[in-house]
Amino acid sequence: MIDIQRIRDNSQEVIRRYKVRNFEAGELVNRIKELDARRRQYQQELDSTLADSKAIARRIGELFKAGKGEETALWKEKSATLKQQAKKLQDDLDAAAGELHELMTNLPMLPHESVPAGDSEADNEIVREEGNIPVLHENAKSHWDLATELDIIDFAAGTRVTGSGFPVYKGRGAALQRALVGFFLEEALEAGYTEYQPPLLVNADSAYGTGQLPDKDGQMYHVASDDLYLIPTSEVPVTNIFRDRILNEADLPVKCTAYSVCFRREAGSYGKDVRGLNRLHQFDKVEIVQIAHPEKSYEVLEEMVGYVAVLLRKLELPFRVARLCGGDLGFASALTYDMEVFSAGQNRWLEVSSISNFETYQAQRLKLRFRPSEGKNRLAHTLNGSALALPRVMAALLENNQTPDGVKIPRVLQKFTGFETL
RNA sequence: GGAGAGGUGGCCGAGUGGUCUAAGGCGCACGCCUGGAAAGCGUGUAUCCGUCAAAAGCGGAUCAAGGGUUCGAAUCCCUUUCUCUCCGCCA
């Protein structure tokens, strides 16, 4: 949710900025301004009514104490009238505030100045590209063929046990997964992140806090009997650890990392995008989350992109960094960089990380603030990114490192796997 | 799952219808005292909304959450929720 102050201060600027997202906010913003004014009007009237009412109650108390109980009848009557008025004002206030909140929920985050205009993925701005595209031997295969041949992933078994999109990792495939998790966590700890093991099920408040609800309802698996959601990313539980908290300015930035399994319904996906490991209902991911000072959050974002780039370099994977255009930008994000690795067997780029600055979007919902050295408490900025999502990294490793003699394991992973080739 | 007891400020804890405008303590901050420190003494120490250009000030809300009784609720009633203890089940 954006800060309503920005609409009060300069609604025209807000409307203009939303155009980068191809979002016509004019009508919505005007209704919000109107409701905001009405809400404040009701608030004032209610406050003064309640003030009167309290004064009368105090007066009655004094009369009783002075033994003049018979003089209170008139005041009681007056108080009853005020109470009725207050009730109505409270209802009006609640209605206005409720509707206002509802409309505010429909506003995406304001995009950062650097976000390019555009409609789709095709308009994203490639800001960096690194590494060499591997030249594969003649019989090079896709990772799904390779993995099946090497007997390290059993897609068919997963389908039998659960359904499509739930692969079974086996033997050295399972070991490689574990190695990647170990490597990612070790790197994160070295970079100063604190490791968390969060719950994999969250309540609706948490899902709302990070913006999964109501915006992305339907992406998450819902456990109806207990009204809980399977997490689509550990961003949700980790960020919600800080819901309703007021941090000390000196504690910023807070740096968290977590390994977790992630669950996504991915309703409506089909075709080559979902072959093999390209898109799954269940996958493993190491996530990094930072809670940053508003004036430092874009430095933090760049730092996080730099951090993920180091991981990819160490894994010897060719990658590129894209700044998402307005049309591709997530609802809650002000600026997002996607990190994509080139996967030679499929001859395409695969997104392995998405790093975003949500500014105050989540913080507003989470009531996540910090105490500055001077002045009033302020909303913090939240950021997160994958570091990294495993399946596509594994896909690229398999495809790019295949040789007639087997698949080579990158040097940095060998101490975790205990083997050098597959 | 069954039975019982509870939820009060950063923390502990008092408070069973009207100076609760929440006692007292701890912690923290500042000041006095001191050669320096401790102790001691003093002062301050929640969040949100509104008013204001802003701050101060002022008004309102908040004692788990929601509803009710009452002129008046932390206090009484109802619902929900969470925690603890015992029993049951259990990796």
Which range has the worst mean pLDDT, A16-20, A167-171, A374-378?
Answer: A374-378
Tell me which DSSP letter residue A122 carries. Answer: G
pLDDT-derived band of residue A401, with 50, 70 and 90 as boundaries? Answer: very high
Per-residue model confidence (pLDDT) at position A68:
67
The pTM of this model reads: 0.91
- The pLDDT tens digits for A34-55 are 999 999 999 999 999 998 988 8
**CB of A101 nearer than 7 A to strand B:** no
CA distance A77 to A92: 23
Q: What is the mean pLDDT of chain A?
A: 91
- What single letter denotes the amino acid at residue A164? S
DSSP-H helix ranges across A323-410? 361-366, 390-400
Task: Answer yes or no: is A47 CB < 7 A from strand B.
Answer: yes
Pairing relation of β-strands A335-343 and A348-357?
A: antiparallel
CA distance A318 to A340: 8
List helix spans (H) across A114-171: 143-150, 155-161
For the stretch A68-125, pLDDT in tens is 666 777 788 888 888 888 888 988 898 899 899 989 999 999 999 999 999 999 999 9
Report which residue type is found at A195. E
Omega within 30 of 0 (cis) for the link into A253: yes
Say how far apart CA A199 and CA A187 lie, in whole Å.
Answer: 22
- Cβ(A276)–Cβ(A147) below 8 Å: yes
Q: Which nucleotides of B are covered by protein (CB under 7 A)?
A: 18-19, 47-51, 55, 59-61, 71-72
How many Å from the CA of A55 to C1' of B73?
16
Q: Which of residues 206-265 of A touch strand B (CB under 7 A)?
A: 246
| Residues A20, A24, A28, A29, Cα dihedral to 10° | 50
CA nearest neighbour of A261 among A166, A349, A172:
A166
* Crossing angle of helices A143-150 and A390-400, rounded to 10°: 80
Give dist(CA A188, CA A286) in Å, integer: 9
Helix A172-190 vs helix A297-314: crossing angle, to nearest 10? 140
Residues 6+ apart with CB under 8 A from A78: A56
- The string of DSSP codes covering A160-204 is HHT-TT--EE-THHHHHHHHHHHHHHHHHHHTTPEEE---SEE-H
Tell me the C-alpha distance between A201 and A236, whole Å: 10
Cβ of A54 less than 7 A from strand B: yes
Which tens digits make up the pLDDT trace of A141-171? Answer: 999 999 999 999 999 999 999 998 999 999 9
More confident residue, A76 or A305: A305
Judge whether residue A312 has pLDDT over 80.
yes
Rounded distance in angstroms from the CA atom of residue A249 to the C1' atom of nucleotide B32:
30
Distance B44 C1' – A374 CA (angstroms): 16
Using alpha carbons, list the distances in angstroms from residue A174 to A146, A261, A376, A417.
15, 14, 51, 10
- For residue A251, what pLDDT is reported? 87
Contact A388, A258 (CB under 8 A): no
- What's the rounded mean pLDDT across residues A202-219? 85
Q: Is any atom of nucleic acid chain B found less than 7 Å from the CB of residue A53?
A: yes
Strand B contact at CB of residue A65, distance < 7 A? yes
Q: Output the distance from A379 CA to B41 C1' rounded to whole Å.
A: 39
Identity at A226, one-letter amino acid code: D
- In this structure, is the CB of residue A137 within 7 Å of any atom belonging to strand B? no
Is pLDDT at A191 greater than 90 in this prediction? Answer: yes
Give the confidence band of A62 by pLDDT, cuts at 50, 70, 90: confident
**Alpha-carbon span A63 to A71, nearest angstrom:** 7
